[in-house]
Chain A
Amino acid sequence: MSGGRRDSPPRWHRQLLRRLVARRDRTSAEAELEELWRVRRGRDGRAAADRWYRRQVGAFLLRGVAWRGRRPDPGRAGPLDRIALDVRAAIRRLGRNPGSTAAALLALVLGIGAGTTVFGVVDGVVLRPLPFPAAERLVHLGEVLAETGTAMAVAPPAYLAWSGAELRTLEGVAATSTEGIDLVTDAGAEHLEGARVGATFFGVMGVPPALGRGFTTGEDAPGGPPAVVLSNDLWTRRFGGDSKVVGRTIRLGGAGRAERDPGSPPRCRAMERRRVASP
């Protein structure tokens, strides 16, 4: 309250003091601090007296006068009392050097932020397993430019060679690349993050679609029949989780695509970040 007619110390701080001070001291402490507030109001004005009062309530808190019970004596204090004394002493010292305190807090915040970020990366990349049944058997194949070490898109001949009949080291190879694509329905158009995958993709990853089927060999050939697999998110969000969507024709725009047949809506984490997969 800061109204002009108020004839008592700041209400909130007065109530705080009342809650802090031990019962046997409560009435006298409140009355005596109010008496000093009146002296200061008469001498320095109400605004200065209010500021003084707020500082003093803070001092009651920091100095531990609050003491709902006995204030611990450093010489006789138990372990918990000693911790309380140390915390109060630390707060007082920090308050005396606001510049150093701000610098220390900034360093602490930056350190915690950096640590959290690094842990997030390590957790996602190293600690948390990939959402596939045999993630430890999955390897990523790629091509690198020898001169610079730059990662390159795998050339189709290389993919065909890796996945050919002479494949012995690996059980299977699947190709994938990202692709933006537009979904057009009666409710409107939506740009989606999609992936183009080979027919072997779902088999290699070990995550068969929850409904319908994956892709057949002919569907990933140039000019093959159009087909898509929907992510669980897209299926539930745009198609209401309707199982009859399997076999229906939906319109996917962009890149001169024709209508596609949604093969199935998979309920697997592998597809959560991609809304559609197409061969």
Chain B
Amino acid sequence: MANDLMGEFEHQVLLALVRMGDEGYSVPLVLELEERTGREIQPAAVYIALRRLEEKGMTVSEFRNAPPDEGGRERRYFTVTDEGRARLREARRTFLGLWDGIETALEEQ
């Protein structure tokens, strides 16, 4: 179903979440994505991606308070589900298959 397809940005968000240890909230996720992609990331876009990933069963979320030394305010933590990890593996296989044999053709001159 089209609704279950993972968009490019959702893919990036899910990968960043895995890199953070399978769990995280939006702030380190935004900073991680900005560092990895080299461009400004809108928190609103991350919110949308996280919500869609949750609707597709690739993440789950819960509200928890931050540790006291970090202000103690409420945060929404997202965790990658088994389904999410499986979809990432599947996407990687698909991409590797698509890339196979054309790396040299797309190398920068």
Does A114 reach chain B (CB closer than 8 Å)? no
Given A36-B30, A65-B48, A71-B51 in contact, is the A31-B75 Cβ separation under 8 Å? Answer: yes
Say if the beta carbon of A29 comes within 8 Å of chain B: yes
CB neighbours of B47 from chain A (8 A): 25, 29, 60, 65
- The verdict on A36 contacting B43 (CB below 8 Å), with A63-B48, A71-B51 known, is yes
Check: A59 CB closer than 8 A to any chain B CB. Answer: yes
> Are B43 and A56 interface neighbours, CB within 8 A?
yes
Q: Among the interface residues A36, A62, A64, A73, which one has the most CB atoms of the partner chain B within 10 A?
A: A36
Cβ contact within 8 Å between B25 and A63: no
The A contact surface, by secondary structure, is helix
Q: How many A residues have CB within 8 A of the partner chain? A: 22
A28 & B3 in contact (Cβ 8 Å cutoff): no
Flag if B48 contacts A31 (CB, 8 Å). Answer: no
Residue of A nearest to B31 (CB): A39
A39 to B31 alpha-carbon distance, docked (Å): 9
Chain B, interface size category, equals: 20 to 34
Asked if B105 is at the interface (CB within 8 A of a chain A CB), the reply is no
Q: Of A27, A63, A64, which contacts B74 at CB under 8 A?
A: A27
Smallest CB–CB gap between B101 and chain A, Å?
A: 35
Q: Are the CB atoms of A36 and B51 closer together than 8 Å?
A: no
Q: How far is the CA of A35 from the CA of B44 in the complex (A)?
A: 14
Bound Cα distance from A25 to B74, whole angstroms: 10
Interface residues of A in 60-113 (CB under 8 A from B): 60, 62-65, 71, 73, 75-76
Closest to A28 in B: B76
CA distance A33 to B27 in the complex (A): 8
Tell which of B44, B63, B66, B74 touches A56, judged by Cβ atoms closer than 8 Å. B44
Task: Give A35 to B45 CA distance when docked, in angstroms.
Answer: 17
Residues of A contacting B26 with CB < 8 Å?
Answer: 32
User: Using an 8 Å CB-CB cutoff, how does the interface string of A219-243 with B read, 1 for contact, 0 for none?
Assistant: 0000000000000000000000000
Assess whether A31 is in contact with B30, with CB atoms less than 8 Å apart: no
A75-B43 in contact (CB<8A): no
> Which residues of the other chain, A, contact B48 by a CB distance below 8 angstroms?
63-65, 71
Residues of B contacting A55 in the complex (Cβ-Cβ under 8 angstroms): 42
Q: Is the CB of B25 within 8 A of A32?
A: yes
CB atoms of B42 and A25 under 8 A apart = no
Q: Is B73 an interface residue when CB atoms closer than 8 A count as contact?
A: yes
Q: Which 9 A-B pairs have the closest CB atoms?
A: A31-B73, A59-B44, A28-B76, A63-B44, A60-B44, A27-B74, A59-B42, A65-B44, A35-B27
Q: A25-B76, A32-B26, A33-B43 are in contact. List 17 more A-B contacts (CB 8 A).
A: A31-B71, A31-B73, A31-B74, A32-B27, A32-B75, A35-B27, A36-B43, A39-B27, A39-B31, A55-B42, A56-B43, A59-B42, A59-B43, A63-B42, A65-B44, A71-B48, A73-B3
Residues on A lying within 8 angstroms of B by beta carbon are: 25, 27-29, 31-33, 35-36, 39, 55-56, 59-60, 62-65, 71, 73, 75-76
Binding site for A on B (CB under 8 A): 2-3, 25-27, 30-31, 42-45, 47-48, 51, 55, 63, 66, 71, 73-76
**Can you sample 9 A-B contacts with CB below 8 Å?**
A27-B74, A28-B75, A31-B66, A31-B73, A31-B74, A33-B43, A56-B43, A63-B48, A71-B51
